[in-house]
Every structure is written in C-alpha cells, then in structure tokens.
Amino acid sequence: MSNDFRERLNQALKEAMRAKDQRAISTLRLILAALQDRDIAARGKSPDGRITDDEILQMLQSMVKQREESIAMYEQGGRLELAEQEQAEIDVIRQFLPKQLSESETRDAVDSTIAALDAASLKEMGKVMGELRTRYAGRMDFGKASALVKQSLGR
C-alpha cells in the first residue's frame, strides 16, 4: 500500500509540472522531501526501511496543522497574500488525506470507542486515544478528540 501512496504523490508532481502549477509543484516537492527525510530516519527501524502509510498520513496532517497556524499568524499581521499561499498549500496536501470526520462523527467515534473499551476514568484515556489513533488514522483531529475523551471520562 505504501508504494501506492508514494506513486500518487509522484504522479501528482508530474501532472503539476505538465500543468506548470508552481504552487502544487513546490508543495509536492516539499512533501516528497519530508517523506524522504522520514524514510532515512526509519532505516533500520522498519522492515523495509520506509515509514508506513499511517506515518505518512500523520506527516501530512502535521503539515496542514503547521500551515493553519501560519495562516492565523499571517492574518493577525495583515499579511493576507502569505495566508493565501499557505491555504493553497493546504489545498494541495488535503488531496492526499482521507475525508476528515465531522465534529459529530468525531464525538460518535469517541463515545463508541469509550463504550467498546468499557473505559470509565481518566486513567484509561491513553488506551482510548490509542484505539482512536488505530481506527481513525488520518481521518480525525486527535487534539479535538483528546478534549472530547477527557470531557467524557472526567464526568
């Protein structure tokens, strides 16, 4: 599966180059460079010396989160053209992420996971979050999910 993900990224880069889409080209090159860095770091730690699809998804999510934080800072500083550039990069990155769960879908997933694990206290928060990460990798904002788990288990 990992090769499929990598192939999609490389194919998207080729298409962006044909279309002369500079924003997509630079963003895809950035993604591929980050992926290569993480693969190099994974050598000796993973069987094939590459990071997994879940790790690629986490990397892409963190890239989106970094850009969202930059957008907030640029908007506060009145640098709207830079905020627009960051948003364009987010749009390119999101093409490779699965559809994100809505807030109500996240709440339902948290509630069902807590029920399935029969979790009753904050001591079990790590177990619940681990299960959510396994089931919903790449599809859930785990910062928001963490707050919901804490709220549910803290009652």
Token pair, residue 101, equals: 């769960």
**Angle formed by the axes of helices 80-94 and 22-42, to 10°?**
60
Would you state the pLDDT for residue 70? 96
Please, is 59 exposed, middle or buried when counting C-beta atoms within 10 Å of its C-beta (0-12, 13-18, 19+)? middle
Mean pLDDT by 10 residues, the chain (155 residues): 79 96 96 94 84 87 92 95 96 90 91 91 90 84 88 83
Token pair, residue 59, equals: 């990397």
Q: Which domains does the chain have, with CATH numbers?
A: 2-94 (1.10.1510.10), 103-153 (1.10.10.410)
Cα(90)–Cα(86) distance, integer angstroms: 6
Whether the CB-CB separation of 64 and 72 falls below 8 Å is answered with: no
| Listed residue (34, 4, 31, 36) closest to 16, CA to CA | 31
Would you state the pLDDT for residue 72? 95
